[in-house]
Amino acid sequence: MAGANASANLYLLLQTCQVNGIDCYRYLRALFIALPKAQTVDDYTALLPWRIDLSMA
């Protein structure tokens, strides 16, 4: 069940990228670079598709 939830969350995140006109590959690259550094709620909020800085990707 946890695997299905994780897959659904990833699919939803990538669909959000598409709806907002964000390149999914660049988003995932930037996310995987920034995610280990996130520590606070604000850090995680900054990683949402419409807020993340894609210049890191």
The answer to whether 34 and 56 are in contact (CB under 8 A) is: yes
pLDDT tens, 9-49? 999 999 999 999 999 999 999 999 999 999 999 999 999 99
Cα–Cα distance, 26 to 31 (Å, whole number): 8
pLDDT value at position 2? Answer: 86
Q: Model confidence at 1, in pLDDT bands (50, 70, 90)?
A: confident
pLDDT of amino acid 33: 94
pTM of the full predicted structure? Answer: 0.81
Nearest Cα to Cα of residue 31 among 48, 18, 14: 48
